[in-house]
Chain A
Amino acid sequence: MAVEKMALAKAINASLRTAMEDDAKVLVIGEDVGKLGGVFRVTDGLQKDFGEDRVIDSPLAESGIVGTAIGLALRGYRPVVEIQFDGFVFPAYDQIVTQLAKMHARALGTVKLPVVIRIPYGGGIGAVEHHSESPEALFAHVAGLKCVSPSTPADAYWMLQQAIHSDDPVIFFEPKRRYWDKGEVNTSAIPGPLHEARVAREGTDLTLAAYGPMVKTCLEVAAAAAEEGTSLEVLDLRSMSPIDFDAVQRSVEKTGRLVVVHEAPVFYGSGGEIAARITERCFYHLEAPVLRVGGFHAPYPPARLEEEYLPNLDRVLDAVDRALAY
């Protein structure tokens, strides 16, 4: 039994360490992941302990990183790839979509691709262009990929281990603005299934569904609403592909109202998928249409405007009010 309070970034580091200790086939590959320990220090100290052969500083070429990771997986390795920032994944998008996602099906199940692609994603850190994006829908749309995003250090620790153990390719979206948030991690707990949602806060009047960085925002919204006498349930989806629609359905059948919150643009975002499915499943339970709060159909704005772009307490509360007004 080991319960330790640690930051989310540290939890990922600890998780990688455990995975590498447990299985010699687990490799960490990416730009600056070795000596530097990654630009966010997530892989700090790993190369020192596991060697350059297992914690591999790669050439600066994302397609090459993912493409060679596919080859390593075909050889029996379990590469954990780091893409330095969300906006840098696109040179690898072809390899991820046309190869990584489809190879298992193409081979009629005879090969497996246990590749994890870690992507620090989302805004809120005042960065320059391409460092604050939320491209999860672009991956969740592709059959053959799985997409998850932890919101707490405990989930970061366990979900990454589960992603590494998975025989499917998993895109692991790390909420970079929560890297330094601390929480308790029980490294000897038995985790729940990787793709199961978690009730982060129970409530009765309306369900807020979110994942990754927006879970914290939604919890703040729920606390604020509680002061006004409104009881919000906060659902941490944890997984964007697959989505635990059963959990959303259970919650909506109780509350009758659903607001989905993500940083990614609303247009064609995962909120739309959730709204459609929940409308189908809970048509007679819904007291209001499913509303979405998220980014705009605009390139991620310059840092001085990002507070306007990102869903915050007020914008989510506004949607809650509109849903409750039906």
Chain B
Amino acid sequence: MTESTAARDPRRSSKRTSGSDGGSAAATSAPETPGAPAKKAAARKTPAKKAPAKKAAAKKTAAPAKKAAAKKTAAKPAKAAKTAKTAKAAKAAKAAEKVPVGSRPLPQGDGADATELVQLLTPAGERVEHPDYAVDPSPEELRALYRDMVLTRRFDAEAVTLQRQGELGLWPSLLGQEAAQVGSGRATREDDYVFPTYREHGVAWCRGVDPTLLLGMFRGVNNGGWDPNSNNFQLYTIVIGSQTLHATGYAMGVAKDGADSAVVAYFGDGASSQGDVAEAFTFAAVYYAPVVFFCQNNQWAISEPTERQTRVPLYQRAAGYGFPGVRVDGNDVLAVLAVTRKALEHARSGQGPMLIEAYTYRMGAHTTSDDPTRYRADDERAAWEAKDPILRLRTLLEREGLADEAFFAGLDEESDALAKRVRESIRTMADPDPMAMFENIYADGHSVVDEERTQYAAYQASFADPADFADEAGAAAGKGH
């Protein structure tokens, strides 16, 4: 597609420019063209007020169309022919590789190797020891971790449903990553600071951010609806990897303040390819910034497997920057808790950053717009379901008699109540005032924003009842802010 346009364009543009005067003088004399008097007169006539009825109609039709478009985003491939072509190409590529995409192991272990994967709770729910990492949670703490994961999963499932019902434009599900997020989130202290991607709903939960606040940006009422400083949980960052630098800078500030807080920068396997992540590693290393780089390797960056991002296990990258890296079973909440605690202590004690690769799996789609059946096999998911983070802790709780029927029943009720609260919050979530787009662009104001705000207010007012149209337009224009 791009090739054909590229081939066409130059011919077109050369045809167009061949008729014009061109030349370097055009650069300075471009706006010179004197307007013919007749033209000027016509221009003066056009700003006459359009009929309010026409405006209103245009406005009405625009809104639903927009919504529909948003819902469709990236959902379906455009044409059947195109699909066939892509499938064919994929088939050819597969044949060439002779190994299905995503299943070719990295040269130095594929994460299943027990020697490099910190694990304290096996998929079968057995407690195991690790020479470097230990955690000894009380039954109460174990139940609390279980509760966090169950409620996080329920909230996430509810959000997916709300997207399917058209209440959210998009939702990035964390399904399968509950242990990685709850284990690391619960390892942080209140004064620590978290820089998330856009999928850290479980970490947000642990930081005490009301889950309903996470929905606003995915409904389209804001671009991040919480005060980051109220829970030391930064706003979701959509551009991949950017936040790792913010986390590093913040951590540099923590060190300058002489505080013993630490910072956690979340990112994924896809982000590990970003230059910003490499730069964050460098800055954090050379300044000994107290930051923990927490990579959730969920195996997929939309459709691209981790093998498209790296040829070494991600945690090993840390060695090249001069700080420790460790790979932890990301579906083992106890191991993640133990490893993150240790990494945070490492950071607090002035030893600089540490990289944690939480080896996990994105059980769902990248977002609700994605269709993973196009790029990965069902049996892969089935294999990871056997390593489910919640199931293994439940097995432990039940087998050891650490939680009774009443606990599980109570948690079910709490889940239902949370889901209900989430649904209700969406239904009462108001659309923003149109004038809100002019707010908070600058802390100290900007004359262009002020001018456009005033003009748009007057324009809005022009849709009012024709009877009091003149009054309202006058009032809005006069407001001035």
Q: Which residues of A contact B (CB under 8 A)?
A: 53, 58-59, 61, 63-64, 66-77, 91, 94-95, 98-99, 102-112, 143-144, 146, 166-168, 195, 241-245, 265-267, 272, 275, 289-297, 315, 318-319, 322, 326
The interface bits of chain B over 430-470 (1 if a CB of A lies within 8 angstroms of the residue's CB, else 0) are 00000000011111101111000000000000000000000
A5 to B247, CA, bound (A): 42
Are A67's CB and B245's CB within 8 A? yes
Asked if B185 is at the interface of the complex by the 8 Å CB criterion, the answer is: no
Partner of A275, one of B24, B31, B253: B31
A66 to B245, CA, bound (A): 8
The stretch of B6-14, B140-148, B222-230, B399-407 in contact with A is B222-230
Partner of B223, one of A75, A106, A275, A291: A106
A146 to B286, CA, bound (A): 31
Kindly provide the distance from the CB of B194 to the nearest chain A CB, expressed in whole angstroms. 12
The stretch of B170-178, B277-285, B301-309, B418-426 in contact with A is B277-285
Q: List residues 216-271 of chain B with CB under 8 A from any CB of chain A.
A: 222-225, 227-229, 234-235, 237, 239, 242, 244-254, 256-257
Q: Given A59-B286, A105-B440, are A53 and B228 neighbors across the interface (CB < 8 Å)?
A: no
Given contacts A61-B279, A70-B249, A292-B31, 13 further A-B contacts (CB under 8 A): A67-B245, A68-B249, A71-B248, A71-B250, A74-B246, A95-B242, A105-B440, A107-B224, A107-B235, A108-B439, A144-B442, A168-B442, A322-B32
A319 to B249, CA, bound (A): 48
Are A98's CB and B442's CB within 8 A? no
Which residues of B lie under 8 Å from residue A58 when comparing CB positions?
283
Q: Given A67-B248, A67-B279, A68-B252, are A245 and B447 neighbors across the interface (CB < 8 Å)?
A: yes
Q: Given A105-B441, A109-B443, are A266 and B30 neighbors across the interface (CB < 8 Å)?
A: yes
Between-chain CB contacts (< 8 Å), 7 pairs: A67-B248, A72-B249, A75-B252, A98-B239, A108-B225, A108-B440, A315-B28
Kindly provide the distance from the CB of B318 to the nearest chain A CB, expressed in whole angstroms. 16
Are A168's CB and B443's CB within 8 A? yes
A245 to B222, CA, bound (A): 31
Asked if B61 is at the interface of the complex by the 8 Å CB criterion, the answer is: no
Asked if B166 is at the interface of the complex by the 8 Å CB criterion, the answer is: no
A297 to B24, CA, bound (A): 8
Q: Which residue of A lies closest to B32 (CB)?
A: A289
Instruction: Please count how many residues in chain B sit with their CB below 8 Å of the partner chain's CB atoms.
Output: 52
The interface centre, meaning the residue of A67, A167, A266 with most chain B CB atoms within 10 A of its CB, is A67
Kindly provide the distance from the CB of A308 to the nearest chain B CB, expressed in whole angstroms. 9
Are A64's CB and B250's CB within 8 A? no
Which residues of B lie under 8 Å from residue A295 when comparing CB positions?
27
Which residues of A lie under 8 Å from residue B444 when comparing CB positions?
166-168
Are A146's CB and B223's CB within 8 A? no
Are B224's CB and A106's CB within 8 A? yes
Asked if B115 is at the interface of the complex by the 8 Å CB criterion, the answer is: no
Which residues of B lie under 8 Å from residue A76 when comparing CB positions?
253
Q: Given A108-B224, A291-B29, A315-B28, are A146 and B443 neighbors across the interface (CB < 8 Å)?
A: no
Are A109's CB and B248's CB within 8 A? no
A195 to B446, CA, bound (A): 9
Kindly provide the distance from the CB of A32 to the nearest chain B CB, expressed in whole angstroms. 15
A297 to B17, CA, bound (A): 14
Q: Given A241-B446, A242-B448, A291-B28, are A71 and B246 neighbors across the interface (CB < 8 Å)?
A: yes
Which residues of B lie under 8 Å from residue A166 when comparing CB positions?
443-444
Q: Which residue of B lies closest to A295 (CB)?
A: B27
Which residues of B lie under 8 Å from residue A167 when comparing CB positions?
443-444
Q: Given A68-B283, A265-B27, A266-B30, are A63 and B252 neighbors across the interface (CB < 8 Å)?
A: no
Which residues of B lie under 8 Å from residue A146 when comparing CB positions?
442, 446
Which residues of B lie under 8 Å from residue A243 when comparing CB positions?
447-448
Are B33's CB and A289's CB within 8 A? yes
Partner of A112, one of B27, B239, B282, B443: B443
Kindly provide the distance from the CB of B26 to the nearest chain A CB, expressed in whole angstroms. 9
A112 to B227, CA, bound (A): 12
Asked if B276 is at the interface of the complex by the 8 Å CB criterion, the answer is: yes
Which residues of B lie under 8 Å from residue A291 when comparing CB positions?
28-29, 31-32
A293 to B228, CA, bound (A): 46
Which residues of B lie under 8 Å from residue A71 when comparing CB positions?
245-253
A106 to B33, CA, bound (A): 42
Q: Which residue of A lies closest to B239 (CB)?
A: A98
CB-CB nearest 10 A-B residue pairs? A71-B249, A67-B245, A75-B253, A68-B249, A64-B279, A167-B443, A109-B440, A71-B250, A110-B227, A71-B246
A297 to B248, CA, bound (A): 39
Q: Which residue of A lies closest to B35 (CB)?
A: A289
A111 to B235, CA, bound (A): 10
Which residues of A lie under 8 Å from residue B276 when comparing CB positions?
63-64, 67, 94-95
Q: Which residue of B lies closest to A167 (CB)?
A: B443
Are A104's CB and B442's CB within 8 A? yes
Are A67's CB and B439's CB within 8 A? no
Asked if B107 is at the interface of the complex by the 8 Å CB criterion, the answer is: no
Partner of B282, one of A64, A72, A107: A64
